[in-house]
A and B are shown apart, each in its own frame.
Chain A
Amino acid sequence: MSVADTNPDVSALAAPGIRRDEAVADLHGLLLRAARFEVFRRREFLPQLSAVELDELAQEAADDAAVSVLRRLDDFRGESAFRTWAYKFALLEASVKVRRRVWRDREVTLDPERWESLAHAGPGPDDDAENAALLEAVRDGIKTALTPRQRQVLVAAVLEGIPIDVLAERLGSNRNAIYKVLHDARRRLREHVVAAGFLEVRE
């Protein structure tokens, strides 16, 4: 028995005819509520947009989320309420649109050599010698232990603070792939500093 057989929200969306049209309209209302929640929650980052423009952004997010939900209906396993499951699609679409709009007119520096700015981003002059030595080991690791791609993503995501979905768009990739590069860069960097005598290896 599938979830569509037991969950009225899912079965209505999977059914043909008027019943489905009504269910899709209800779904869109649910998604719009979530998208508006997200867009207006982040409005401080988009001071140039009017309330109407923010609402248009939420509408676009709800439309895109509806397409995703309907396409991925078979992925719903009933491990949460259907409403919660659907909400996350709208929040994802809305938050991606907000971040992309925030960064649209900003210069995104993808210079992998920008890691040298770490000297100014790490511990200050009052921090202890161990932290200073660790910082030096990290700088050395960024320079010698990472691939150029790993260095580029690590610097952009961590030191420049560029959201990984914005980064993925600029690099012609996707969020999961960019996070994997970041994850691998962190792992290599940790191995480097552990080998240099810093940090305890956790089981």
Chain B
Amino acid sequence: MTGRDLDPTLLRLLGSGEPESDCDECFARLDRYVELELAGAPADTLVPGLRAHLAGCPTCAEEHESLHALLELDSAS
């Protein structure tokens, strides 16, 4: 069994086990990461460790989701 097969509660308890940023690094790099995502660029390759952090940190994940949505709204208006 690998981490990918885990029950969601167990996955939240054990984490992905992948290398990841911390919350401060996530905040520092989030703007670039989201712009890369919206441009269709390989954000996970260019900003390594952020995706794993977002998977393990619901608080940073909320802010990522909001920045993504706000920039999408900007580009649509």
Contacts and interface: CB of A to CB of B under 8 A. Distances in A.
Interface in B30-77: 30-32, 34-35, 56-59, 62-63, 66-67, 69-71, 73-74
A190 B10 CA distance: 10
Contacts of A187: 15, 17
A187 B17 CA distance: 7
Contact of B31 (A87, A122, A123, A201): A87
Contacts of A201: 17
A117 B12 CA distance: 15
A179 B61 CA distance: 13
Given A87-B67, A88-B67, A118-B13, 13 more contacts: A84-B31, A87-B71, A88-B30, A118-B9, A131-B7, A131-B10, A163-B58, A164-B57, A175-B59, A176-B22, A187-B17, A199-B1, A202-B18
Contacts of B73: 37
Given A41-B69, A186-B15, A163 B59 contact: yes
